[in-house]
Amino acid sequence: MPSVQPLTIRLPGRGARAALFALCAALAAFGAAATGAPARAEEVGYKLTEPYRVEVSDVTARVGERAVMHITLHLRDGFRVLEAYTNRVSRFSSLDGGVAFADKIVNGSAENNTLVFAVPVTPTAPGRHPINGVFRVGYIEGGDQMVMVSVPLVATVIGQE
For residue range 86-120, what is the model confidence (pLDDT) as tens digits?
Answer: 999 999 999 999 999 999 999 999 999 999 999 99
Q: Tell me, what's the pLDDT at 142? A: 82
Task: Give the residues across from 141 on adjacent strands.
Answer: 79, 145
Q: Tell me, what's the pLDDT at 31? A: 44
Segment 157-161 shows an average pLDDT of 96
For the chain, residues classed under CATH 2.60.40.10 are 52-160
Position 38 pLDDT exceeds 90: no
In DSSP notation, 34-83 reads HTT----GGGGT--SS-SEEEEE--EEEETT--EEEEEEEEEPTTEEE-T
Position 62 pLDDT exceeds 80: yes
Nearest one of 152, 147, 161, 90 to 119, comparing CA atoms: 90
Q: Tell me, what's the pLDDT at 143? A: 78
Return the SS3 of 104. Answer: coil
Phi, psi dihedrals of residue 42, rounded to the nearest 5°: -65, -30
Q: Tell me, what's the pLDDT at 23? A: 47
Burial of 7 (0-12, 13-18, 19+ CB in 10 A): exposed
Segment 32-50 shows an average pLDDT of 45
Nearest one of 106, 133, 130, 120 to 66, comparing CA atoms: 120
- Residue 131: pLDDT band by 50, 70, 90 thresholds? very high
Write down the pTM of the prediction: 0.68
The span from the CA of 106 to the CA of 137, in Å, is 12
With respect to CATH, is domain 52-160 assigned 3.30.365.10?
Answer: no
